[in-house]
Structure 1
Amino acid sequence: MKITLDIPQPDLEKLIAPAIAEPRIPLYGITWQQYEQFIEIFSGHQNLHLAYLQGVLEIVTLSPEHEMLKTLIARLLYIYTDALEIDLFSCGSATCKSKSTNRGLEPDESFCIGARKQFPDLAIEVTVTSGGIDKLEIYKGLQIPEVWFYQSNRFSLYHIKQDGSGYEAIAKSQIFPNLDLDLMAEHIQPDREPEMVRAWRKLLIAQ
């Protein structure tokens, strides 16, 4: 089956050769079948992410800064869980979607704790430019237990409410209650990545 994209040329140019950091192209009236076709079309394009919420599809071109930040966050978390012998399973940016709730997205990083599951226990989102689709509303439909947002050198944490009706802000991770995310954020300096990784490892050993 041949699939065509009905995206205006100016919007396509924003995605292919963005003049601004992480351009966001919203498309409206997109059916679930069309969303799945978009996933197929963009499969393999690691610098593009899709977010779908009840008929609205957002396509984002990821910036180099975004990719450096999310990779370093993952490296630091790997070191932490390895030091504490926590069983961490990487899910990366694999698409999480639910037809029954009409939602789907690709986390920047995601992980299962203890064992692999259908959906990750933790999703991490790096925000370089604000705005766009409400990702917490998407995560609610996927029932991801915990979501971290990293923006402007700090983390904001959310945990799914007990009744699953939405998220509530939390001061510290319920998955990693002993993890000092403010301290971890101090080590998220991509230009000094090797130095920061070594310093983080030494700090955890000392503790």
Structure 2
Amino acid sequence: MPTTLAETRPATDSTIEPCVVLHDVDWSGYESILKIRGEHPVPRMVYLDGSLLLMSPSYPHERLAERLGWFIKVIVEELDVPCIASGSTTFRRGSEKGGVEGDQTYYLASVVRVRGKTEIDLEIDPPPDLAVEVVWTHKADAAVEVYRRLQVPEVWVCDGRALTILTLQASGQYAPAESSLAVPVSAAEIQEWAAERPEDDDTAWAKAVRRWVREAVVPRRRPEIKIEPNRD
């Protein structure tokens, strides 16, 4: 199982994330628990090889997840990249003995294959192109392993102090990368913008992100203009 490199924090009364791990849960049991929970957003679930983690995210966890999600949406909008945000959709495959609900997930390169669909079946549909996992008081190793088995091309793992970009290799394993393959930004740049500052509010922050994207990121995608010599 790959190492996410993100460290967890000790839980306090204000950041505690209730978590229960059930063992020896077969696939039909996992699907039954999903049905019982229904459309409720919590608990979030990660299923891997018979172990089922149920977790209720804390406020700081959700703040960071929303900030990363907003960051991605600003970038794809400014770069005019087709995108379908799939949120915390439950992605699962019985043949891989894994199921996961990301903090944020996105279809980018695979948009055309899921556009107009009302549900995703990974037996016939592609997995998301990008997943975001926030680490606060619980590690993301199990979730990352499920993403690997589902062949999600890229995963961002962030704890608010550091961000790791994992990209899927030809070997089927993840490897850390300095920059994203999904959008033209580096792990250091993402982390710098994801960091919470006491004076920030989301509106002012999003405006600052948009200015930066227009000034620094959009030019990275502009085609090189070749000037032909004057032959007159």
Could you state the TM-score of these two structures normalised by the residue count of structure 2? 0.75
Distance change (3 Å), C-alpha of 1:84 and 1:131: closer
Residues 1:202 and 2:211 aligned together: yes
46-55 or 188-197, which deviates more: 188-197
Q: Helix, strand or coil: the match of 1:40?
A: helix
Q: Which structure is higher in RCO with an 8 Å CA cutoff and minimum separation 6?
A: 2
Counterparts of 2:205 and 2:187, CA distance in 1 = 14
1:160 corresponds to: 168
Counterparts of 1:145 and 1:132, CA distance in 2 = 16
Task: Point out 4+ residue stretches in structure 1 off by more than 4 angstroms.
Answer: none
Query: Once the two structures are superposed, what CA deviation does each residue of 1:83-108 show, in whole Å capped at 9, x if it has no partner?
Result: 11111111110000011011001011
Could you state the TM-score of these two structures normalised by the residue count of structure 1? 0.83
Counterparts of 1:197 and 1:181, CA distance in 2 = 18
Residues 1:149 and 2:157 aligned together: yes
The answer to whether the 8 A contact 1:111-1:120 is kept is yes
The answer to whether the 8 A contact 1:49-1:60 is kept is yes
Identity of aligned residues (%): 24
75-84 or 186-195, which deviates more: 186-195
Structure 1: stretches of 5+ with no match in the other structure = 1-17
98-107 or 123-132, which deviates more: 123-132
**How many residues end up aligned between the 2 structures?**
188
Query: Once the two structures are superposed, what CA deviation does each residue of 1:122-155 show, in whole Å capped at 9, x if it has no partner?
Result: 1100111134752222112111111110113321
The answer to whether the 8 A contact 1:47-1:63 is kept is no
Which residue identity is paired with 1:95? T
| 1:103-118 mapped onto 2 (5 Å cutoff) | 103-114=98-109, 115=111, 116=114, 117-118=125-126
The answer to whether the 8 A contact 1:127-1:151 is kept is yes
Residues 1:173 and 2:180 aligned together: yes
Residues 1:182 and 2:191 aligned together: no
Distance change (3 Å), C-alpha of 1:72 and 1:20: closer
Structure 2: stretches of 5+ with no match in the other structure = 1-12, 115-124, 217-232
The answer to whether the 8 A contact 2:160-2:191 is kept is no
Q: Flag the structure with higher strand content.
A: 1
